[in-house]
Chain A
Amino acid sequence: MSTDTATLPVGRYAYDEVDRTFLSQRVAQFREQVGRRVAGELTEDEFKPLRLMNGLYLQLHAYMLRVAVPYGMMGSDQMRELAHIARTYDRDYGHFTTRQNIQFNWIRLEDTPDILERLAGVNMHAIQTSGNCIRNVTCDEFAGAAADELLDPRIHAEILRQWSTLHPEFSFLPRKFKIAISGSPHDRVAARFHDIGLVAHPGPDGRAVFDVFVGGGLGRTPIIGVKLRDNLPEEDLLAYLEAVVRVYNAYGRRDNMYKARIKILVQALGVDQFREKVDAEFAQMNRADYRLDPAIVEGIRARFGIPALDAPANAADRLDSDRKADARFDRWVRTNTHAHRHEGFISAVVSIKPDGGIPGDVTADQMDLIAALADDFSFGEIRVTHMQNVVLGHVRKDQLRDLWLRLEGAGLGTPNIGLVGDIIACPGLDYCALANARSIPIAQKLSARFANPELQENIGTLRINISGCINACGHHHAGHIGILGVDKRGEEFFQLTLGGSAENDVAIGQIIGPALPEDETVDAIARLIDTYLVLRNEGEAFIDTYRRLGAASFKDAVYAPA
């Protein structure tokens, strides 16, 4: 497929010399730091923050390298490089995370400078994937494609990336800081579960304005973010965010890491007082210095490639007839696609949740295949979703079946997006040094048990989220059914929460009762789902029935004697 601007990567920002120089300096710096560590010139305590600033964690079995995928967007060239890294330096696979990043689980410290150099060769890095800084900004996986979108948020996501990268004031915040941005009225980024959530829409003069949410988050203390202000003008975006983060940096707690996130500060001060402090900081800033001039925005926008959305006039008809001719394809289209702003195109979601598989794990061969499919069907553009899946954003409707056939052939055609099988699970105790319990085996057992696609469609929309500890990387509080691993004297138990949601109907899941032993958890969830099927009214999803009837109706099912 051709593009309007052949030299610019579609859907993401094209690095220039400044970006490339910065990355190569950074790799050289880390190479030297690794050398000093290996030579014994740096202690582990001195070295640890340096490696973490380059995305290198020490996990349960080995080092883990978390590579940033800024706002979830990457190109086929980058995916191929990730495949190469998986094959050469890891055990042939990678893991997509809920922050739209990718992790490699078996990395050697001594290989890391070479890996970072290879990544820099395709304009990738591992910066802002760890540490108490502003982390990689997340974004709507259907950005620039969705029919319901008001404004493409990726331009401002890139501006935030450049603003926050190595920001000298914000490199040592009280805790990590996460920003999400959406340009659609339908919240697909969990804006109110972020330190700052931005919802962009066009203002009266056509330039972007932002609704700003602050102080949301999951983890030990789940809190829904509050609206800090409406209609923030684009030109004040950086000044205002700078003011918010400054207030947090000044007043956030550093004495207790469990109380250090901005959500605790907003709760402690109350939103009105927090807003007063932000407004006072904002008022005393030299706004001219921070003004985000439309020329800067347009300069960044000009470095994004735009897809040439030409489809034959009969593309939609062709898709209709393809669907009528093949019931399995029709089902996949129902579950795994999203409406595109152009009538001849559609967005396809590639499920990285095969029946009984490990959510988010993708082999090197699959990465290469996804890269090839992106080249053949979607302008070389790939999106990683916070649900740990992959999106090809701009697929011609008349070519969708060809895409599906190739996905099917590679075991990537599972029709389960948004259904029981589309489970979000953190790495848990199989990999994570902080875990209490294993997340992945529970996800595998549930997805195998509910593998039947008719059953899944009959059950309908159901979000299951699993975290291996209270850090909540699996966003369990935001799941319709949330599962949290807890440790009881070295053995695994699982606590269920019900009724959470990260979307427009945002809610925090509530604990239903005592934690269950590992071998009873999957059965209990199966009984819970059976109960919903009995109790639901026509057209109700699980979350609707739960909200109508409350937890009591489900409690007996969970704790029924085996």
Chain B
Amino acid sequence: MPVLQYRSEKNGCAGLARAPIYSSLRQLHARCLKGIGSEVDVRNNRRDMTGASVITANRLLDGRIVWLAPQGWSEAIGQARVFDNAAVEDAIKQAKAAADANTVVGIYGVQLDPDATQITPLTVRERIRAFGPTVHPDFAPVETPHVH
């Protein structure tokens, strides 16, 4: 093995696949990848027995946050369909199985604040997702009825 194998002809993207050690590592692949880049934390999908929730995800193509609306996914939480917490697990399952499920990633439920007059998530995290970074009010999602 040359000392700077990066410079060897065997290397490069095509070369790497030919490197003998790589094939054995591939078997480890699934196991090893488990810890990589955990982006959705289970904590975010927890909710009380009672109350109401909405369903959210990120759009595949541009990563933007979307909310499950009566027809498709909307960028505006105000358009979201509100589920009773007793029914939200089934609704999440259905959303994951739906025809357009591949246009979004990371579908999960978001508990709502029962005291708020408008659709408002209970946790700071989900309020920031719904209304934009607090340090950039100019980046708040525009509450237009943009359902697709």
**Which residues of A are interface residues toward B (Cβ below 8 A)?**
18, 21-22, 25-26, 29, 37-38, 40, 44, 48-49, 52, 57-63, 91, 106-110, 130-132, 159, 162-163, 165-169, 171-175, 238, 254, 257, 260, 289-293, 296, 358, 429-431, 433-435, 437-438, 440-441, 444, 487, 490-492
Contact = CB atoms under 8 A, between A and B. Distances in A.
Given A40-B102, A168-B19, A172-B29, A430 B4 contact: no
Which label, helix, strand, loop or mixed, suits the secondary structure of the A interface?
Answer: mixed
Contact of A110 (B32, B43, B61, B65): B61
A44 B105 CA distance: 7
Contacts of A438: 124, 128, 134-135
Query: Interface residues of B toward A: which range?
Result: 35 or more
Given A131-B37, A169-B21, A490 B124 contact: yes
9 contacts: A21-B12, A22-B12, A22-B13, A57-B37, A60-B128, A61-B129, A109-B62, A429-B124, A440-B135
B106 interface: yes
B11 interface: yes
Contact of B132 (A61, A296, A490): A61
Nearest to A469: B41
Contacts of A260: 35
A173 B36 CA distance: 10
A371 B15 CA distance: 36
Nearest to A108: B62
B50 to A, nearest CB: 15
A132 B102 CA distance: 27
A130 B25 contact: no
A62 B136 CA distance: 14
A131 B39 CA distance: 12
Nearest to A130: B37
Given A44-B105, A172-B32, A91 B139 contact: yes
Interface of B: 1-7, 11-14, 16, 19, 21-22, 25, 28-29, 31-41, 43, 58, 60-65, 102, 105-106, 122-125, 128-129, 132-136, 139
Contacts of A171: 25
B64 A172 contact: no
A501 to B, nearest CB: 28
Contacts of A433: 39-41
A132 to B, nearest CB: 6
B133 A431 contact: yes
A168 B22 contact: yes
Contacts of B61: 38, 108-110
Contact of B133 (A52, A61, A110, A132): A61
B25 A168 contact: yes
A254 B63 contact: no
A290 B3 contact: yes
A29 B34 CA distance: 23
Given A49-B36, A52-B36, A490-B122, 19 more contacts: A49-B37, A58-B39, A58-B63, A61-B129, A108-B61, A108-B62, A109-B60, A132-B32, A167-B5, A168-B16, A168-B25, A238-B3, A293-B3, A429-B124, A430-B136, A434-B41, A435-B125, A491-B124, A492-B124
Nearest to B26: A172
Contacts of A172: 25, 28-29, 32-33
A397 B38 CA distance: 48
B124 A437 contact: yes
